[in-house]
Structure 1
């Protein structure tokens, strides 16, 4: 895959993090009005957009390396993934563990679940909600570990039919597992009233968060990457129809939101996520094309937001909580002022995390990658001349 920066994908990443942040900000007071409000209520979809982007970009890197003469350096792949995620993630986890005042909620899952990326598999949101947004990082980490296995299996006697059947099998498995979770863990408690959010939390724990139920977006992104690498003629055809894909993506996402609401229903749980992922994948196709956003075109602030997206995602909920604790009463009178203060504080903390932790980790990753790429110097034997 061509690793040149695609401004359209930067724009999607920037929109995804703003969408997620706005969704979480509503509970801290700022209102977005009758026009933006319904869109903000769907801000949880920003995580699904991140999944599609990750599947496309990481899947594309692996597939391109697999198709090359040298093949994939799996050790280097795991090293790159680790240094991309772990430095900033562990720094923020340390804040959550050692500074209870940093937490947006008092209760927190055991440290081993976050260290082992299993917090989404054993959640207890009735009591422990601090750093709960780490669930999506767990899903991505599991995808990074599953991807090599799938690529190796499909690379043995590769065929379009075999790959299509694999994608279909994973898609149907996700639907089946969500159906089972809904009917056994959620539906029996539809009429139980033990607090307003009791039913919703069961849905989050058993349908929304587990990895096996949330691979649709990553699968959609990886499928697009496979088309780009192994079916370039198809990809060129798609790029030539970027506006059609972009419009289709908007319509499909809007239809999914209209049909399934917050997806907290049996139909939403079963087929809502695949439909949403297809719509977001169509958006990605449109925005990846230079017909939408030429290679050198950049909107002001987009690259900054895209660069800080990971640090923003890790820290924004805690920052919103701290701002509310310090100045909530003063900001209650003005949504615009509250928006500016919460957003400004989140950007400042994310920039600090990026500069102090995330960027050094990325630089270390590049240095180690260059060292791994250098040919080993032959060992010197006695009597050898230099």
Structure 2
């Protein structure tokens, strides 16, 4: 027996779980740091259902109608997209600012179902907080649509293979090849390429397809039931529960940018999901347990919920960016809960008045029914007229949003300003070297205040580079976007080996992820005991920021030659000086960053040397609360 076309037990409930994981991950990231795996659960469900439908059609009719297949997919996916794009783009235009950046190419990606590849080509990042893409969540829809376009042809070719185990092995090999390709292409830092790529992230779809082929094969004919099959049948509910538990554990444990996720973690989630689907559709009890009222309700509306949740969140954050500087719990209440309510309302309306009618009657049939009902009632004609006028206004708003969209976010502008300053300093240094090489007798240039300072940092330091250069002429700055503390030891080691490392080292690398004490120990080991070290505290609405700053305070408290530049304390009362992401400073904020570094250097200058461990000679650090300072160690 083929995978049936009727409603399969447990799949709506599993969809509800999947969309819940994704929504919680985006709305309340501290609560479910691995909730992004809900997308992979969707991929397995989609691969299973689509393959099952195609196999069933071939069994029933002896052929597969590709035109009808793609038409059904379009009717399912396109109608809910149209109001989402019109409403969200118009709202973004009314709000203005960073939320409009890149809107044109986002709409091109949405219209062509190529959002993932358009994003990759434009070097957009799924993990970036500096570019609030309004339709970023459409990347996964693009991956599925590309699969729907190609897979029917591949399946027709596979069906020419008469050997069922070979056919199943070939599909499994495709899944494994995609997962291996993801692991090979993965690079630490920003894994957007392997996360977005259809080539690297299709293993879930192929896993679902393989399961459909397996059930199609195992159900055909009156085959004898093996001992293994009988045993699996008895264990089916328990295996389903265990697999579902494994998926939920992964939602708590898998890091969104860690190597574990992309070198086996997501593949494991896909395989566990396949076990859940098998247990649900083959066993009544487990499938019925998944299809509880709430989960089934969410699952039936999961497409709309997934479409709306991200644009709603981005719009609310753009409308009230100050909330991003609040503690995580307050942010969840102020933004997460209203976003959740609006998402459920929009998805419910879409399901009732758009998705179900179009699915049942088609686009033309739905329009005819609407006309018939409107002709019978002036009240309904009024609503239809209002809907038409609203649609025209939204179309105009979307057009205006595209025309007025800025080229880059305010954060990107500040980062670019800093990069230009570093590039100009590098050109000046090269010119000075050439002049010196042409005239050995030339008088040496006067040393600036920054000639003794090497600074290594992330995009926050990069945005502050012009002010650091003005405040410390001659300072050597090595700053880059998305850099974390783990990169510092290697960078400093290379500078030390080349003789470029200066007597004072400033490190500002706490924005992009947690840090370990061992990383700070490595930094100090590289620079040696004869150099002084300034650690810049982090300011960002990130789950790890408090831990980063605590680690920096504890480390600085252990050594006389280590000081804190309290960027966090200095900028916290002046968040209006930050870009729209509430992380990167503009010129005035850059001066505050510079002054926090200067204050740390002044304290280092007034720190007496150690004589027999008489640490009391060192003046208290006014930027480090005494109650948080650990005992000093000589």
The two structures have a TM-score, normalised by structure 1, of 0.76
**Residues 333 and 134 (structure 1), Cα distance of their counterparts in 2 relative to 1, 3 Å cut:** closer
Q: How far is the alpha carbon of 1:254 from its aligned partner? A: 6.3
* 2:391 match: none
Q: How far apart are the structure 2 equivalents of 1:67 and 1:240?
A: 29
Pairs within 5 Å for 1:1-386: 1-26=3-28, 37=31, 40-101=32-93, 105-108=99-102, 110=105, 111-123=107-119, 124-125=124-125, 127=131, 129-182=133-186, 186-187=187-188, 199-200=189-190, 203-204=191-192, 206-232=193-219, 238-250=232-244, 252-253=246-247, 261-262=254-255, 264-288=257-281, 289-294=283-288, 298-323=291-316, 325=319, 340-365=337-362
Farther off after superposition, 113-122 or 167-176: 167-176
Q: How far apart are the structure 2 equivalents of 1:267 and 1:333?
A: 31
**Residues 280 and 293 (structure 1), Cα distance of their counterparts in 2 relative to 1, 3 Å cut:** closer
5+ residue gaps, structure 2? 366-634
Q: How far apart are the structure 2 equivalents of 1:57 and 1:236?
A: 23
Q: How far apart are the structure 1 equivalents of 2:245 and 2:357?
A: 41
- SS of aligned partner of 1:212: coil
**Residues 284 and 361 (structure 1), Cα distance of their counterparts in 2 relative to 1, 3 Å cut:** same
- The answer as to whether partners of 2:37 and 2:251 remain within 8 angstroms in 1 is no
**Residues 43 and 333 (structure 1), Cα distance of their counterparts in 2 relative to 1, 3 Å cut:** closer
- The answer as to whether partners of 1:245 and 1:285 remain within 8 angstroms in 2 is no
Relative contact order, CA 8 A, sep 6+: which one is greater? 1
5+ residue gaps, structure 1? 32-36, 188-198, 369-386
Farther off after superposition, 339-348 or 54-63: 339-348
* 1:374 match: none
Farther off after superposition, 10-19 or 236-245: 236-245
Q: How far apart are the structure 2 equivalents of 1:19 and 1:175?
A: 22
Number of residue pairs matched by the alignment: 339
Q: How far apart are the structure 2 equivalents of 1:332 and 1:161?
A: 52
Q: How far is the alpha carbon of 1:11 from its aligned partner? A: 1.0
Q: How far apart are the structure 2 equivalents of 1:148 and 1:56?
A: 13
Q: How far apart are the structure 1 equivalents of 2:12 and 2:143?
A: 22
Q: How far apart are the structure 1 equivalents of 2:27 and 2:259?
A: 28
Q: How far is the alpha carbon of 1:54 from its aligned partner? A: 0.9
**Residues 218 and 240 (structure 1), Cα distance of their counterparts in 2 relative to 1, 3 Å cut:** farther
Output one character per residue of 1:32-77: Cα deviation in whole Å (capped at 9) or x when no partner.
xxxxx2xx21210111111111111111111111222442222111
Q: How far is the alpha carbon of 1:173 from its aligned partner? A: 2.4
Q: How far is the alpha carbon of 1:5 from its aligned partner? A: 2.4
Q: How far is the alpha carbon of 1:133 from its aligned partner? A: 0.7
**Residues 366 and 4 (structure 1), Cα distance of their counterparts in 2 relative to 1, 3 Å cut:** farther
Q: How far is the alpha carbon of 1:266 from its aligned partner? A: 3.9
- SS of aligned partner of 2:118: coil
- The answer as to whether partners of 2:43 and 2:144 remain within 8 angstroms in 1 is yes
Q: How far is the alpha carbon of 1:115 from its aligned partner? A: 1.2
Between structure 1 and structure 2, the one with the greater Rg is 2
**Residues 363 and 250 (structure 1), Cα distance of their counterparts in 2 relative to 1, 3 Å cut:** closer
- SS of aligned partner of 1:222: helix
- The answer as to whether partners of 1:240 and 1:291 remain within 8 angstroms in 2 is no
Q: How far apart are the structure 2 equivalents of 1:165 and 1:293?
A: 27
Q: How far apart are the structure 1 equivalents of 2:91 and 2:249?
A: 43
Q: How far is the alpha carbon of 1:318 from its aligned partner? A: 2.2
Q: How far is the alpha carbon of 1:252 from its aligned partner? A: 4.5
Q: How far apart are the structure 1 equivalents of 2:332 and 2:298?
A: 22
Q: How far apart are the structure 2 equivalents of 1:174 and 1:310?
A: 25
Q: How far apart are the structure 1 equivalents of 2:338 and 2:256?
A: 31
Q: How far is the alpha carbon of 1:25 from its aligned partner? A: 0.4
- SS of aligned partner of 1:170: helix
